[in-house]
Structure 1
Amino acid sequence: MRFRIKRSGGTPANPYPQDPAPAPAPAPASAVRPSPPEPADPPLSPHETALIRASVAVVEPLAADMTVYFYAILFARYPEVRPMFPPGMDAQRGRLLRSLLHIVDLVDDPENLVRFCGHLGRDHRKFGALRAHFPAVGECLLAALARYAGPAWTADIAAAWTKAYGAVADVMIDAAEQDAAVRPAVWPATVVRLVPHGHGIAEVTVRPHMPYEYAAGQFVSIETPWHPKQWRYYSPANAPREDGTLTFHVRAVPGGSVSTALVHRAAVGDVLRLGPPMGDMVLDAAVSDDLVCVAGGTGLAPIRAIVEEVARRDGRHQVQLFLGARTGAELYGVDDMLRLAQRHHWLTFRGAVSHEYIPGIRGSLPQVLAEYGPWYQHDVYLSGPAPMVVSAMETLTLGGTSPDRIHHDPFDTPVLATP
């Protein structure tokens, strides 16, 4: 398995009585997203890299059980860390597994390894992670790996994992401590507007209590007061506004406690918490003035924010926007996009449905992209369900689009992709 970086009643006045102390004065925008130093060489030798990847191949069939064991011994040996985690650990165990495998995938790619681990370090601040916690995690991680690798675990493999974990921990700690110097770990934000769209989708607009700087196209983790320690990731559907508000498009996922609460339980005046902005699917990543933006479902949110950002920059880009859904009823946001296209000559909008015969374009988004392409001279921004993004990437690359010009954020979880 390989993973890629590039990518859903009243409240008490203070639902978070243990919020951290007020943050220092806001730093300039240039200081808000510090870049950790990048090592000149991979942290491991080729032999050490081979040892680690060989050990992962041994434990991967048992990876789910290994993560259960890891958290069991972590909480048994260091019970003081248990309150940092949600009561239900299924999602957390999955994140650990994906991040671990992704780090292994990047051990010989120092630039992306530092970027990935820097994101993790900054994002883990919201859980209360401190420098002192990292040795405990490393100890238990190696114990879990040794148990499930069995006879394949050797002293050389243990030494390679110790070295790799030390390098990863150093990057995460440095990134977190640099981040702590310029901004808070979390931002309380009051719900100021709710707009239902049907089919379990709602627009949720919040106003952070402190300045919140982000770039159009990034994504944000959200925690609700009803499910503490459970964070889910959504993209603002707007470029930064003067009033500081952010609007999220949220679909209530069956069994999804956070998404269901945001769509069906949240009310104006409720206070949520936001984690730091993340993601590299931003306008400045483009090398061309010709853009193709492709959105499926609530993937419209970051695409809409990018289109707004183009408008803020006086329309210096030509944008082809494709919006897709299974049926016409699910094709939400069409009227908004049509108004934008009428207002801006540089924006061309097309909507398509894949499972219903109605007037207009019919087909999946990858099929429509192939029909209207090729797009090898464009930068392409993709957002939506993971299968759609993967299929669209295949269509684009077959049509001659360089992978370096295809921008998407992680699938489902931050900074992690599972094609």
Structure 2
Amino acid sequence: MLDARAISLVRAGFKSVLAAENGPALLARSFYAQLFVDHPEFRAFFPASMDQQRDHFVRALAYIFDNLDRNERVESFLQQLGRDHRKHGVDGTHFRAGASALISAFRNFVGNEVWTDEVEDAWHRTLALVTDNMAVAADSDELPPYWGATIVEHQRVLDDLAIVRLQLDEGIHYYPGQYVSVQIPQRPKLWRYLSPAIPCNPQGEIEFHVRRVSGGWVSPAMVTESVVGDRWAVSPPLGGLQIDRGIDEDVLMIAGGTGLAPLRAQVMDMARRSRNPRVHLFVSGTYPRDLYDAETLWQLSLSNPWLTVVPVTEEDENPWWHSGPTPELPWGMHHRLHGPIGKVVTQFGSWADRQIQICGSPSMVRTTLYALRKVGTPMEHVQHDPL
């Protein structure tokens, strides 16, 4: 366990990286450069383009350092991260080697004047905690690093959004609300996180909702190049979005775009039960076209009176370049509300008596969290995956 002083020193150092111009990118480049100098054989574990790898690395560090004083949360995240890296062929020895490269990168970034013996000791102890948790989890996991799956249906519901259904070679047990890492044949070694949009089932059927990210490496290929018969690799599940049925609280779910998927999977799983808490699901998008799953959600709400679905869009009309049809909202569904999702949700109050889940793009999650904080929502009631 780390003491408060060590946590404070590490956080202060990392904040100086975030505050510097191009600080995160410079730190990540320095880390990987040092790692590959010390261990040239490690380069084969990574894709040719490292841009998104560096971005994911910095985001993971930010989440770890933000939660160092929450032992259970950070250790669970590190253990999942360690197991997830097995898909790259990594084991415990690789994590421990990475710690020294990160210390070297950070020391080079801040300079010798800031890098005191106390700072160095804090970083060594912190990274020992990080790497030990990841290494033990990776070396003790008995699951395969990934499973094979075959695309059985690829439905292009919008020009930039596809619903992809796959048949896994073996069933994967995951909890609704978790996510998995996926690799496609068009982009080898480039893994991307996706959330199953349906609950786990013994037949090994799984469904993903994929939006094409402008400038992205993988999502455009998933949407525009993937075809029935393609073989994907799917890693063991991660994450912990879930409803605590042990407490007597209703639920607020806030979805942005394809962030609907893990919330949808939970709602579908709840529909199998006879008793459930009340759920308010706000499903949002930029344009009306983005409410692509409204009909399914409406049908779920008709047969499950505990579920209320509220559609929200920032814009009243579709963009001029959208030429495809936009499905009308089902008759009887809550009328569509307008505005940024955080502002819309908080017009109804702080929701302080609810369990709250937020899922969407990093910017959507951040702005929604800000809106909830502003109206006094207790943050300990809020769940979201690491950004």
Q: TM-score, normalised by structure 2?
A: 0.87
What's 2:134 paired with?
Answer: 172
Give the alignment of 1:245-394 within 5 angstroms.
245-284=205-244, 287-356=247-316, 360-364=335-339, 365-373=341-349, 375-394=351-370
- 1:157 matches 2:119: yes
Q: How many residues get paired?
A: 367
What's 2:144 paired with?
Answer: 184
* Cα pair distance change 1:392/1:99, threshold 3 Å: closer
SS at match of 2:289: coil
What's 2:324 paired with?
Answer: none
Q: Distance in 2 between matches of 1:398 and 1:58?
A: 26
* Cα pair distance change 1:372/1:150, threshold 3 Å: closer
SS at match of 1:269: coil
CA RMSD of aligned residues (A): 2.3
Residue in structure 1 matching 2:10, options 26, 48, 52: 52
What's 1:237 paired with?
Answer: 197
Instruction: Return the letter of the residue paired with 1:187.
Output: W
Q: Distance in 2 between matches of 1:134 and 1:334?
A: 44
SS at match of 2:283: strand
Q: CA deviation at 1:141?
A: 1.7
What's 1:142 paired with?
Answer: 103
Larger mean CA deviation between 342-351 and 219-228 belongs to 342-351
Q: Distance in 2 between matches of 1:176 and 1:79?
A: 22
Instruction: Return the letter of the residue paired with 2:80.
Output: H
What's 1:96 paired with?
Answer: 57
What's 1:75 paired with?
Answer: 36
Q: Distance in 2 between matches of 1:395 and 1:51?
A: 30
Larger mean CA deviation between 137-146 and 79-88 belongs to 137-146
5+ unaligned residues in a row in structure 1: which ranges? 1-41, 411-416
8 Å CA contact 1:217–1:283 kept in 2: the answer is no
SS at match of 1:312: coil
Q: Distance in 2 between matches of 1:119 and 1:150?
A: 33
Q: Distance in 2 between matches of 1:189 and 1:337?
A: 27
Q: Distance in 2 between matches of 1:255 and 1:286?
A: 43
* Cα pair distance change 1:244/1:140, threshold 3 Å: same
Q: Distance in 1 between matches of 2:8 and 2:377?
A: 32
- 1:406 matches 2:361: no
* Cα pair distance change 1:348/1:254, threshold 3 Å: same
Instruction: Return the letter of the residue paired with 1:231.
Output: W
Q: CA deviation at 1:57?
A: 4.5
8 Å CA contact 1:288–1:377 kept in 2: the answer is no
Moved over 6 A (4+): none
SS at match of 1:98: helix
Indicate the percent of aligned positions where both proteins have the same amino acid.
34
* Cα pair distance change 1:139/1:387, threshold 3 Å: closer
Give the alignment of 1:179-218 within 5 angstroms.
179=141, 181=142, 183-218=143-178
Q: Deviations over 1:160-209 (max 9, x none)?
A: 32222222111111112232x2x111111111111111131110011221
* Cα pair distance change 1:302/1:48, threshold 3 Å: closer
SS at match of 1:389: helix
Q: CA deviation at 1:405?
A: 2.2
Q: CA deviation at 1:54?
A: 4.1
5+ unaligned residues in a row in structure 2: which ranges? 318-327, 330-334
SS at match of 1:409: coil
Residue in structure 1 matching 2:80, options 107, 110, 119: 119
* Cα pair distance change 1:313/1:48, threshold 3 Å: same
* Cα pair distance change 1:50/1:305, threshold 3 Å: closer
Instruction: Return the letter of the residue paired with 1:56.
Output: F
Q: TM-score, normalised by structure 1?
A: 0.81
* Cα pair distance change 1:285/1:87, threshold 3 Å: farther
8 Å CA contact 2:171–2:203 kept in 1: the answer is no
Instruction: Return the letter of the residue paired with 2:210.
Output: V
| Greater RCO structure (CA 8 Å; 6+ sep) | 1
Larger mean CA deviation between 54-63 and 264-273 belongs to 54-63
Q: Distance in 2 between matches of 1:382 and 1:391?
A: 11
